[in-house]
Amino acid sequence: MSMSTDGLVIRVNNVGEYDRIVSVLTADYGIIRAFVHGARSLKNKHATTTSLLSYSHFTFSKKRDTYTITDSAVNKVFFNLRGDIVKLSLAQYFCEIAENLAPVEDEAGEYLRIMLNSLHFLSESGRDPVMLKAICELRMLAISGYTPDIVACHNCAVFENETMYFDVINGELYCPDCKPAGLNLLPIGKGVLAAMRHIVYSDFSKLYSFSLPAESLENLSRITESFLLSQIEHRFTTLEFYKNL
Ligand SMILES: [Zn+2]
């Protein structure tokens, strides 16, 4: 059996002397792990198409439970990311988020759109990288079932206050009057809360259309990161690397 589709390479593992196993994020089949013969030899036709962050058209052949890439052609390589260690490490972190949240061999169109748009804006300097980080963290969590309930205070349903409180363990929002003691609550200002609601609830076409001052973006990113880390039992080594730069 064989199938052809576009996909973004989100992980590369070297095997043996010349071969690779890659994880490819596709719209129709989610993440596919596939073997690539000879991909590490520079003159191999798959050398570029199966490198990390390449968006390519692939033909996969499946035998028993193993996929092999038999044909490939480049659509886009995010070249600008390679010369900037901060952006490159952030891009690798986005890949690690997708790898942990996107389905395997099932529909994943929105994950792919988030990745391609975020990498595009990151590489073209179209948006603040911290904003892209928050979008990748929170939107991918929301569409994979970890949707926080941030419509209103979880207890009294008040919509907003100068400061609200977000429970990162249960994904719930509280006003100052209702905030329970003993929970890991993060304070959220109005602008940051509006941005979180936008990331979770907006149409994809508007997802990247909001702005916040740099200091609020840092707060937003701290909250979305801490929500991700409290929901997913995984050590994001790419995030640790990015934060140590
Ligand atoms: Zn309340």
pLDDT digits (tens, 9 = 90+) for 181-192: 988 899 999 999
- 149 Cα–ligand 1 center, Å: 13
Q: What is the structure's pLDDT at 243?
A: 96
Kindly tell me if the per-residue pLDDT of 165 is higher than 90.
yes
Q: What is the structure's pLDDT at 117?
A: 97
Please compute the mean of the pLDDT values over residues 48-71 and round it to a whole number: 96
- Taking every pair of Cα atoms in the chain, the longest distance, rounded to a whole number of angstroms, is 65
- 198 Cα–ligand 1 center, Å: 21
Cα(24)–Cα(4) distance, rounded to whole angstroms? 12
Kindly tell me if the per-residue pLDDT of 126 is higher than 90.
no
- 154 Cα–ligand 1 center, Å: 7
Of 46, 77, 108, the position where a domain reaches its end is 77
Cα(154)–Cα(48) distance, rounded to whole angstroms? 49
Same domain (yes/no): 126, 239: yes
Tokens found for residue 105: 């061999």
Question: Range with the lowest mean pLDDT among 34-43, 141-150, 192-201, 228-237?
Answer: 34-43
Residue 6 belongs to a domain with what CATH number?
2.40.50.140
Count up the domains in the chain and report the number.
2
167 falls within a domain: no
Same domain (yes/no): 46, 90: no
Cα(103)–Cα(90) distance, rounded to whole angstroms? 21
- 166 Cα–ligand 1 center, Å: 12
Q: What is the structure's pLDDT at 183?
A: 85
- 178 Cα–ligand 1 center, Å: 4
195 falls within a domain: yes
pTM: 0.96
Q: What is the structure's pLDDT at 184?
A: 84
- 212 Cα–ligand 1 center, Å: 25
Same domain (yes/no): 188, 114: yes
Cα(186)–Cα(163) distance, rounded to whole angstroms? 10
Same domain (yes/no): 35, 63: yes
How does the average pLDDT of the chain come out, rounded? 96
- 181 Cα–ligand 1 center, Å: 13
Please compute the mean of the pLDDT values over residues 117-124 and round it to a whole number: 96
- 155 Cα–ligand 1 center, Å: 5
- 196 Cα–ligand 1 center, Å: 18
Same domain (yes/no): 186, 205: yes
Kindly tell me if the per-residue pLDDT of 49 is higher than 90.
yes
Same domain (yes/no): 204, 129: yes
157 falls within a domain: no
pLDDT band at 41 (very low <50, low <70, confident <90, very high): confident
Same domain (yes/no): 26, 37: yes
Same domain (yes/no): 100, 71: no
Please compute the mean of the pLDDT values over residues 107-121 and round it to a whole number: 98
Q: What is the structure's pLDDT at 144?
A: 97
Same domain (yes/no): 18, 31: yes
- 16 Cα–ligand 1 center, Å: 58
pLDDT band at 213 (very low <50, low <70, confident <90, very high): very high
50 falls within a domain: yes
Answer for the pair 24, 8: CB distance below 8 angstroms, yes or no: yes
Of 77, 95, 111, the position where a domain reaches its end is 77
C-alpha distances out from residue 81 to 129, 150, 168, Å = 12, 34, 31
- 80 Cα–ligand 1 center, Å: 46
**Percentage of the chain modeled with pLDDT above 70:** 100
Of 45, 77, 109, the position where a domain reaches its end is 77
Domain with 34 in it: 2-77
Same domain (yes/no): 62, 104: no
Same domain (yes/no): 95, 213: yes
Same domain (yes/no): 239, 187: yes
229 falls within a domain: yes
Residue 129 belongs to a domain with what CATH number?
1.20.1440.120
- 162 Cα–ligand 1 center, Å: 13
Please compute the mean of the pLDDT values over residues 142-163 and round it to a whole number: 96
- 164 Cα–ligand 1 center, Å: 9
Please compute the mean of the pLDDT values over residues 92-114 and round it to a whole number: 97
- 115 Cα–ligand 1 center, Å: 36
